[in-house]
Amino acid sequence: MNVNVGDILVMKKNHPCGCNRFLVLRSGMDFKLRCENCGHEVMVARSKAEKNIRQIISTGEDNKA
């Protein structure tokens, strides 16, 4: 699954604040995500996060080096 920094992930389950959209701050073996509603940041293992992703909204910032 191709997830880049700056993408917005729509998850299957909601954050306790009620929002299900998260901004990707870091990607690698785990993801650092920020809730779009309350701003809470969480670290999630890549395997667990990929199971819960419903949609990836790309920001258009492709890394073309």
pLDDT tens string 8-65: 999 999 999 999 999 999 999 999 999 999 999 999 999 999 999 999 998 766 554 4
pTM of the complete model: 0.84
How confident is the model at residue 65, as a pLDDT?
44
What is the CATH T-level fold of the domain 8-57, as seen in this structure? SH3 type barrels. (2.30.30)
**Exposed / middle / buried, residue 57 (Cβ in 10 Å: 0-12, 13-18, 19+):** exposed
- DSSP annotation string for 12-61: SS--TTS--EEEEEE-SSEEEEEETTT--EEEEEHHHHHHHEEEEE--S-
Sorted by where each begins, the domain ranges of the chain are 8-57
